[in-house]
């Protein structure tokens, strides 16, 4: 699955097949397909809709699209908006991290600042977890599209150098400090990780529904005191 064309090399040459993402059951029947640009991961929600990792016009793998089984768009969001909504569009440090329609790098150049590789949805809490290789792991209130917490190693550096300031991370953003997972999640957290895994017993850090009644209580409960199911 991917947004770029697949290439199959045969004995008599190379054949390029244009990318179409499909879901096929064990009988070989296509139950869903889309020509949307996709990257690595796609999941089906309990509603039957599909959530796809994609790219915006000016950012790489920084977009999340939810579509119905017939292809109708339900949600179209970017990871940049999670951070802009907190820090504001005037934050000069954040402009060294996020490149999208609000901060275009190099004219019309697309910049791979996020590189989302996978997503996990917890139906009981409504939290979706995203693994962004160049940022860290995010927990997001999916319905409201609001950041709950972010987690990354304290010495995380974007060593892949897809952006002009790889040494600048979201840990340098003052307004995002209250959303940071501390303790082990910071001291020995993820660095250029690929994907989170949800244990069969649940187990991903989250909060009770009562604690999620207001934005402030969500943040306090998620940062320093993750609760396991």
Instruction: Indicate the pairing of strand 21-24 with strand 30-34.
Output: antiparallel
pLDDT digits (tens, 9 = 90+) for 28-60: 888 877 777 777 788 889 999 999 998 888 888
Can you tell me which residue has the tokens 């400090």? 177
Q: Is residue 208's pLDDT more than 70?
A: no
The confidence score (pLDDT) of residue 196 equals: 61
The confidence score (pLDDT) of residue 33 equals: 78
Q: Give the ranges where 48-198 is alpha helix by DSSP (H).
A: 79-87, 184-187
Q: How far apart are CA 70 and CA 89, in angstroms?
A: 36
- Taking residues 82-105, report their average pLDDT: 91
More confident site: 75 or 219: 75
Contact between 176 and 87 (Cβ < 8 Å): yes
pLDDT digits (tens, 9 = 90+) for 142-157: 999 999 999 988 887 6
As given in the structure block, the two tokens for residue 74 are 């339900």
Contact between 19 and 4 (Cβ < 8 Å): yes
Q: How far apart are CA 134 and CA 191, in angstroms?
A: 8
Q: Is residue 229's pLDDT more than 50?
A: no
> To the nearest whole number, what is the mean pLDDT of the chain?
76
Q: How far apart are CA 211 and CA 97, in angstroms?
A: 31
As given in the structure block, the two tokens for residue 201 are 């017993």
Q: How far apart are CA 82 and CA 140, in angstroms?
A: 9
**CA 135, chain centre distance (Å):** 9
Q: How far apart are CA 198 and CA 190, in angstroms?
A: 15
């Amino acid at each position: 699955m991917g947004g770029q064309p697949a290439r199959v090399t045969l004995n008599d040459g190379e054949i390029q097949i244009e990318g179409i993402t499909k879901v096929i059951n064990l009988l070989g029947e296509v139950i869903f397909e889309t020509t949307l640009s996709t990257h690595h991961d796609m999941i089906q929600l309990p509603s039957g809709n599909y959530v796809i990792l994609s790219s915006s016009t000016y950012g790489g793998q920084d977009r999340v699209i939810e579509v119905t089984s017939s292809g109708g768009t339900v949600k179209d969001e970017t990871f940049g908006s999670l951070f802009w909504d907190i820090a504001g569009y005037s934050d000069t440090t954040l402009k060294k991290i996020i490149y999208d329609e609000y901060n275009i790098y190099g004219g019309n150049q697309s910049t791979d600042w996020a590189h989302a590789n996978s997503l996990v949805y917890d139906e009981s809490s409504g939290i979706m977890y995203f693994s962004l290789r160049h940022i860290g792991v995010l927990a997001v209130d999916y319905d409201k599209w609001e950041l709950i917490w972010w987690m990354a190693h304290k010495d995380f550096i974007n060593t892949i150098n897809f952006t002009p300031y790889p040494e600048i991370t979201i840990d340098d953003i003052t307004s995002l400090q209250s959303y940071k997972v501390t303790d082990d999640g910071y001291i020995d957290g993820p660095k250029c990780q690929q994907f989170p895994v949800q244990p069969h017993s649940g187990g991903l850090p989250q909060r009770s529904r009562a604690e999620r009644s207001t934005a402030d209580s969500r943040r306090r409960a998620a940062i320093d005191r993750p609760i396991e199911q």
